[in-house]
Chain A
Amino acid sequence: MSQRLHSQVPSGPLETKWEKHKFEMKLVNPANRRKFEIIVVGTGLAGASAAASLGELGYQVKAFCVHESPRRAHSVAAQGGINAAKNYKNDGDSVYRLFYDTIKGGDFRAREANVYRLAEISTAIIDHCVAIGVPFAREYGGLLANRSFGGAQVSRTFYARGQTGQQLLLGAYQSLMRQVDRGQVQLLTRREMLDLVVINGRARGIIVRNLLTGELERYSADAVILATGGYSNVFFLSTNAMACAVTAAWRAFKRGAFFANPCFTQIHPTCIPVHGENQSKLTLMSESLRNDGRVWVPLKKGDTRHPNDIPENERDYYLERIYPSFGNLAPRDVASRQAKYRYDEGRGVGGKEAVYLDFRDAIKRLGKAVIAERYGNLFEMYEKITGENPYEVPMRIYPAPHYTMGGLWVDYHLMSTIPGLFVAGEANFSDHGANRLGASALMQGLADGFFILPYTVGNFLANVGFNDKVSVEHDAFREAEDRTRQELKRLISIKGNTSVDAIHKKLGRLMWDYCGMSRNREGLKKAIEGVRQLRELFWNEVYVPGELNEINPELEKAARVADFLELGELMCWDALEREESCGGHFREEHQTADGEAKRNDERFCHVAAWEYRGPVEKPVRHQEELVFENVKLTTRSYK
């Protein structure tokens, strides 16, 4: 194991680690908390909940977001729900079962202790969210409703219609605004973090660009928390919002924070397919549709008949054919990969990247009214986007990048390899291993922000004390600000002939083809070469209109794409060197005779954490071995 990767997992039995550790950690006297300043970057579920909770405790918090308001963060778009081991349904759920499902779902590539703590905290999240007014779905008796999700055998998912993310985010946002009202949190909106300031090996502040004035601003603190989301937009087309970027995490990486498992990305199987060149993003259709819809493609290549004219015996219900026991409910990674194979065989709908999701049989069996009751709003949304009526014509769907399990490496305290830099939510790598289960992203974001960081950040601050302050006049701030300004000026000064989006689209296509649902050695090497060429093209040919000191959305995009062009290469290296298939990472060289993922626990039961070594040198790969003391490593099978 690398010298620098100490997981800090406490000793003792799994069930009591967190409880015991909460007692072991140091506390900050309530009267001293106001002497500490904490920066929180990002105000989605993880960031807003962290800023609110730390403000409640009495720390001086500054919260930053790129949006005009914290309520716009992309957590808002999560549809399905949030898991919690409440066992309200008396159906055999428990903290241990949620822990086990999550660690198995992640294909045994996450830390036992972190995942157990997540499952343990899950119940308190629901209690707190109810208390702050989140309008969860309820039964007629007035108690909270649950549903099952993502193939789990228990009903543990709490939800608020199809807008759980929105309601949870508004809850966290309102708690945050309450602290703004109390003067505990200073809110700085329309600010984008462009550098991390590290002094004597410790994170001491950030450089942000004020997106309204274009000015660069310096902020210092005793600790910095990044809650800046995932990097699916490296693929250009994804279900992420337009402003989702790796920039904050990437700049921290370049200042010494290790980046873990960058190749672990989740491709969600049921999204609305690409309509054409000008498509800007993809829309997810809830996974629940696969409960009644049947997935198929025409048996013959290049079959251009209307789907309703293709007779039963000329249809290939491939998921039912290959996975007779799970059928259309095969897990996300498996369903996505099989759709890709159909397209590769030339059997995508209309020769394009699309397969059918057909409700004809379900409507025949249950009647249109039942289907409308179950999926009415989703059908409406589909029709709004595509102009086609799914009651009459099968839906067309295709997988799309949705979530990134990889992220900045953190220890049990959610602290990165840079002391004083904490990372929460999707931005860290911690809890989902190689594949995330449905309804667990919201759970993790809020666990990190409400219930973990308030303890672990306090512990860090108690250890460093409040006398060691730095000024924003320190040379390190000046250096970081100058460097940031120079890079932005350079982007504007290139004045080439290619737009930022045009290059981003090329990068996306390359990553999608070679580092997407299925990867192989040759393809990844080709992609590394391709990404390097695109980077060269970008820095010679990009055209960024406007000036530095004004509202300039193209400049914002350019800076983000510059980082994606570096991250893309690292993702390929990580995928290349992980010589196994696990979860969302499928290496064609490592599959069973019948085409399923083949893990290699002897060689790869570890976290790969990459260390930046300058602009020329390749980052160095470190390993954190994963030790499983409680669960047995098994092979996932859905046949």
Chain B
Amino acid sequence: MHQEERLMSLTLKVWRQKSPKDQGHFETYTVEKVSEHASFLEMLDQLNEQLIREKKDPIAFDHDCREGICGSCGFMINGEAHGPLKRTTVCQLHMRHFKDGETLTIEPWRAQPFTVLKDLMVDRTAFDRIIQAGGYISVDTGSAPDGNAIPIAKPKADWAFDNATCIGCGACVASCKNASAMLFLAAKVNHLVSLPQGQVEREQRVMRMVAQHDDEGFGACTSTGACEAACPKGIRLVAIAQLNRELLRAQFCYQEGSKEEGI
């Protein structure tokens, strides 16, 4: 039959912070009998159950689908966004990748625009405001032509899709020394500009979104590639190169007067 379940005990140094104004500190916990089959979040659930039993405040962290697709979860494990496994969110990271007796340091995403709300929870609404600044195609419901009216070459559609897989988790920002959100921003700009439907608003979209990105306090990109290494969806650094080209192009082509009414 299947091999015996391996159980481990771990020492966790977890960032605790009651509220955005609180200074915050690390606290050390021990969790025993962690199953190798548990996910990292299930291990934290186990620790929280233990804390509740001891009438202590459980650790707050964002999470929801636990299938690696909603983008809610994410924190640093020993200094790595989403932990040591490539292309994996913490909810899909299983404990079999850790050793018995290991000490793990867990802390929230660190970036000025991502205010720590409590413990490992951060405020990522800046991402929504970047999307709000043009990360869409302005088509009202009811006015669309037939879905097959405009053929799209498969490689283009595939490239659009590759960029569209971004889950908005914030790992790129957290792993960047400049706290830049360029990978997130590039993924959305490239997704939309790769499709014929996204051409109409091409210039104003990229200019507005980049301006919003900067206003939120995210840093500039210096092409170190840390974001690419941390991205659980495998969005590539080349996306930022395309973004830069789009921005440069827009700066030449874009005229105030051409701005569409109603945006």
Taking Cβ atoms with an 8 Å cutoff, the residues of A that contact B are 49, 52-53, 56, 67-74, 76-77, 86, 88, 124, 126-133, 135-144, 160-161, 163, 165-167, 170, 173-175, 177-178, 180-182, 187, 189, 212, 241-243, 275-276, 278-281, 283, 304-306, 350, 384-388, 450-451, 454, 499, 501-502, 543, 545-546, 550-551, 553-554
| A to B contact number (C-beta, < 8 Å) | 221
Q: How far is the CB of A287 from chain B (nearest CB, A)?
A: 16
B136 contacts across to A, CB distance below 8 A: 132-133, 174-175, 177-178
- A residues near B36, Cβ cutoff 8 Å: 387
Partner of A553, one of B49, B58, B132: B58
| Contacts A170-B164, A276-B5 known; 18 new A-B pairs at CB < 8 A | A71-B168, A72-B65, A72-B72, A76-B69, A128-B142, A130-B197, A135-B157, A136-B147, A163-B69, A177-B128, A241-B65, A241-B70, A278-B35, A280-B45, A280-B66, A283-B67, A306-B1, A551-B19
Cα A178 to Cα B140 in complex, Å, equals 10
Residue of A68, A88, A163 touching B165 (CB-CB under 8 A)? A163
Q: How far is the CB of A272 from chain B (nearest CB, A)?
A: 10
Q: Which of B45, B127, B131, B141 contacts A450 (CB 8 A)?
A: B141
Question: Quick check: A350 and B2 within 8 Å, CB to CB?
Answer: yes
B27 at the interface (CB under 8 A from A): no
26 A-B pairs with CB atoms under 8 Å apart are A68-B62, A69-B128, A72-B64, A72-B72, A73-B70, A88-B148, A128-B144, A129-B147, A130-B144, A131-B139, A131-B145, A132-B137, A132-B139, A132-B197, A133-B191, A160-B164, A161-B161, A166-B167, A177-B132, A278-B42, A280-B39, A280-B45, A499-B52, A502-B49, A550-B18, A551-B60
Specify the main secondary structure of chain B where it touches its partner.
loop
With A279-B42, A501-B45 in contact, is A71–B195 under 8 Å at CB?
Answer: no
* B257, CB-defined interface residue at 8 Å: no
Within 8 Å CB of B147, what residues of A? 86, 126-127, 129-130, 136, 144
In the complex, what residues of B have CB within 8 A of residue A454's CB?
141
With A127-B144, A127-B145: A71-B38 Cβ-Cβ less than 8 Å: no
Interface centre among A88, A139, A144, A178 (most CB of B within 10 A): A178
The answer for the CA separation of A241 and B64 in the assembled complex, in Å, is 5
Residue of B nearest to A386 (CB): B37
Q: Mark B43-84 against chain A: 1 for CB-CB distance below 8 A, else 0.
A: 101100100110111101011111101111000000000000
Question: Contact check: which of B2, B135, B154 meets A177 at CB < 8 Å?
Answer: B135
- Pick the interface stretch among B99-107, B116-124, B217-225, B239-247: B116-124
User: Per-position contact with A for B1-25: 1 when CB-CB < 8 Å, else 0?
Assistant: 1100100000000000011000000
Instruction: Assess whether B256 is interfacial by the CB under 8 Å rule.
Output: no
Does B192 lie at the interface of the complex (its beta carbon under 8 Å from any beta carbon of A)? yes
Contact residue among B70, B140, B152 (Cβ-Cβ distance under 8 Å from A72): B70
CB atoms of A551 and B124 under 8 A apart: no
C-alpha spacing A303/B144, complex, angstroms: 59
Give residues of chain B (190-244) contacting chain A, Cβ–Cβ below 8 Å. Answer: 191-192, 195, 197-198
B161 A554 Cβ-Cβ under 8 A: no
A166 CB to closest chain B CB, in angstroms?
Answer: 6
Structural contact, A166 and B165, CB atoms closer than 8 A: yes
In whole angstroms, how far apart are the Cα atoms of A306 and B140 in the complex?
Answer: 57
Q: B120 CB to closest chain A CB, in angstroms?
A: 11
Kindly provide the distance from the CB of B131 to the nearest chain A CB, expressed in whole angstroms. Answer: 5
Residue of A nearest to B139 (CB): A131
Q: Which of B123, B128, B154, B262 contacts A140 (CB 8 A)?
A: B154
Which A residues lie within 8 Å of B70 (CB)?
67, 71-74, 76-77, 241
Residue of B nearest to A74 (CB): B65
Which of B43, B45, B117, B125 contacts A551 (CB under 8 A)?
Answer: B117
